[in-house]
Amino acid sequence: MNFSRKIIGLVAALGVAFSLAGCGYNTIPTQDQEVKAQWANVQAAYQRRADLIPNLVNTVQGYANQEKSVLVAVTQARASATQPKFDASTITDPQKFADFQQAQDKLSGVLGRLMAISEQYPDLKSNTNFLALQSQLEGTENRIEIARRDYNAAVQAYNTTLVTLPGSLWAGTVHKGYKPATMFAASAAAQTAPVVNFNTGAPAPAPEAAQPAPAQPSSP
């Protein structure tokens, strides 16, 4: 008798589980985990870039030590992008997410300036170590782009579930603790090529002020 009751109870529990799964009860938690997994991939890609930067800076410094302002800017931007703690809570905190993206965009900008320096130093441009680091950096930038794209896709699916039926019903009741996640957006700075000024000479003279036209003689 007890065995039969256990079987009946197990069947009932399985029936409830399948019913909940069929009506979307597990969708929000499942998609939340997918968003967090994709966020971890984004962080890993950015960390890979940060790990490359010290070797890249040292290599450039060996050939272009006079470009100290750029080298210092890269080092400082890297510190700003890696020192704050951006954990999984970042994705549901718009301000914290904006801080994370701003720090990474700033680092991207100064990295562009650093790579542009190589055009002015042929020995550096042909250095085997620099070429290897440059190739790794390019590969890392591709990884970052793919990771951000996959993250945005996961966030879009998750956020859509939170505001559409039947997900919105669960989000308003048993899943109240789940918040919308923030997506990456292309910033204006990220879409603008970095401006590099290699003119270290004297500033160009200011244009002369226009002289007033001579007065015309009056007619008699």
Q: Provide the pLDDT for residue 5.
A: 57
Show Cβ contacts of residue 184 under 8 Å, excluding neighbours closer than 6 positions.
101, 148, 151, 152
What pLDDT digit, counting tens, does each position of 186-201 carry?
865 544 444 434 333 3
Q: DSSP letters along the chain, please?
A: -HHHHHHHHHHHHHHHHHHHHHTTTTHHHHHHHHHHHHHHHHHHHHHHHHHHHHHHHHHHHHH-TT-HHHHHHHHHHHHHHHSS---GGGGG-HHHHHHHHHHHHHHHHHHHHHHHHGGG-HHHHT-HHHHHHHHHHHHHHHHHHHHHHHHHHHHHHHHHHHHSTTHHHHHTTTTTT--PPPPP---TTTTSPPP-----SPPPPPPPPPPPPPPPPPP-
d(CA 131, CA 210): 51
d(CA 162, CA 80): 33
Q: Which domains does the chain have, with CATH numbers?
A: 33-171 (1.20.1440.20)
Encoding tokens for residue 155? 């966030």
CB 30 within 8 A of CB 88: no
Q: How do the pLDDT tens digits run along the chain, 220 residues long?
A: 565 555 554 444 434 444 444 578 999 999 999 999 999 999 999 999 999 999 999 999 999 999 999 999 999 999 999 988 899 999 999 999 999 999 999 999 999 999 999 999 999 999 999 999 999 999 999 999 999 999 999 999 999 999 999 999 999 999 999 999 999 998 655 444 444 343 333 333 433 444 444 444 444 3
What pLDDT digit, counting tens, does each position of 107-144 carry?
999 999 999 999 999 999 999 999 999 999 999 999 99
d(CA 201, CA 95): 42
